[in-house]
Chains A and B, each alone.
Chain A
Amino acid sequence: MPGSAYLMFAVYIAMFVLSAVGITAFVVYKVLDKFADFGDTPPKLRDYTAGGIDYIRSHDRVPPSDKYHLFADYGVNPYEGRRHSVPEQLVKNSRDEGEM
């Protein structure tokens, strides 16, 4: 066989091997997921809110530079400085850890 034929043969073999590896990995994952792993359905936002997300900005197909405008407008903690009453157990834990 000429050199190019050997190369083509090697490429075909590599593709077959990669394809078989891919399908094997997928089947093994499905087997482990079904038989050994449980509880991977996380809770949903709707479990804890009636109204859902209230979007204050929702822009599609923006230029990459829009990221800086987004974080300039909404990149600051809006709750900074708010004070709340803290339960005694948490106060005690903070004291034990030397936070207070």
Chain B
Amino acid sequence: MAVICRSCAGRLVFNPASQALECVKCGNSYRPEDIEDENAELHSKYYDTHVYICPQCGAEVITSDTEVSTFCVYCGNPAVVFDRVAKQYRPDGIVPFKITREEAAGVIRKRFMNNPIIPKEVKARCVPENLRGIYVPYWVVNAEFREADFLKGEVKRGKSSVTYYYTRAGEVRLRNLPIDGSEILSDDVSFRLEPFYLEDARTFDEDYLNGFYSNTSDITYSDLRAAASEHCHRMYAEEVVKSVKANNVKIADSLYWADIQDDPVYMMMPVWFFTFRHEEKPYTILVNGQTGRVVGTMPWKTKSVWAFAISLFVLLLGLIGFAMWAALGRGNDLASVAMYIVIAMLAGGFALTATGFNGIRRVMNNLKLTQSESMFRYVKRRQG
């Protein structure tokens, strides 16, 4: 594995901005495919990696570059322990990082930092030095998928709604579907990191790993089939619901299967990890290293949000009370306007209750996924 500069023997690190390996000493740059591998035959099937173990969360942190500073990219523990040199199966392809560390930090700062509910200490931690790039293993598959659904929906009839039932069964062929090949990332998180565009994919060359961490696929074939099935179901369900002309359409019951075609492609996909601890809890915010898409939920100032909610509640209650008081006044136009306001607020309040509480529950669930200890405990919900 060639990792040193031909001119000065300095260390080479892959720079996403130039898509080239650059010497940290003299600045010379090389295209990864131009660097000759003297042991090409030996390396045709495997490549060497250094495996570190995190004593806190048990994760394996893998790097082909011994000089990458080693702390756990999953839980942020600064003391990972070197375990062994290991030979890993060589992936078929790699999508190199396109977003630099500085750009990734900038994307997070832009999304999260200019708002009043993020704690200051979290904002202060979002600097490029605290981001780590990791190549996450994916399997890119072609699949056939079949699903049978029993749905129900509501149709307006006069002033009331009638519930009707619908049946759908369908098949779909999918191409180049990326399936997360790592147990450590939850499928919910990796699903939200998509899409990855395979137009940028290159034949795997370990030189692309210089300066980054990597992970190997640790799932089994039955895991892959089940994850593909679940992945297809999520996207299929969204479409099948749209095919029913009714309101409030829901899938009441469903069965589904996926069949992965021959030769899934083993790929490495680029992801930036921003890990930090806040109030004793670990958080992991991810950035797609190809597209810059941010996935994660930041901790917020709980007291500020509660204060805002209580103030808003009191204000609304006062407003409704005042409007009701005004509505009870007789014989003026203001009274009828006030009555309309009361009715509108009552109707609006009842209509928004379910959306509001479901939305808060969804954000809280996303927050739990972002808290990486939960990520580890999270059991991948796969069916198949």
Contact = CB atoms under 8 A, between A and B. Distances in A.
Interface of A: 12, 15-45, 47-64, 66-67, 69-71, 73-75, 77-79, 82, 84-94, 96-97, 99
A87 B146 CA distance: 24
B255 A36 contact: no
Contact of B117 (A31, A59, A75): A31
A22 B89 contact: no
Given A36-B117, A36-B298, A48-B174, 5 more contacts: A29-B360, A44-B235, A47-B194, A55-B169, A59-B167
B263 A20 contact: no
A49 B309 contact: no
B172 A26 contact: no
Nearest to B261: A84
A51 B179 CA distance: 21
Given A39-B294, A47-B195, A74-B146, A18 B350 contact: yes
Contact of A25 (B115, B146, B175, B352): B352
B359 A26 contact: yes
B169 A61 contact: no
A91 B221 contact: yes
A39 B286 CA distance: 10
A3 B170 CA distance: 60
B191 A42 contact: yes
B321 interface: yes
Give the one of A35, A36, A52, A75 with max B CB within 10 A: A36
A81 to B, nearest CB: 10
B170 A23 contact: no
B interface SS class? mixed
Contact of A67 (B195, B253, B345): B253
Nearest to A65: B165
A32 B305 contact: yes
Contact of B324 (A12, A45, A52): A12
Contacts of B289: none
Interface string B161-186: 00011111111111111000000000
A87 B357 CA distance: 45
Contact of A74 (B169, B172, B176): B169
Contacts of A58: 167-170, 243
Contact of A28 (B257, B305, B324): B305
Interface in B117-167: 117-118, 139, 144, 146, 148, 150, 164-167
Given A40-B192, A60-B166, A89-B216, A22 B350 contact: yes
A36 B299 CA distance: 7
A22 B355 CA distance: 9
A18 B366 contact: no
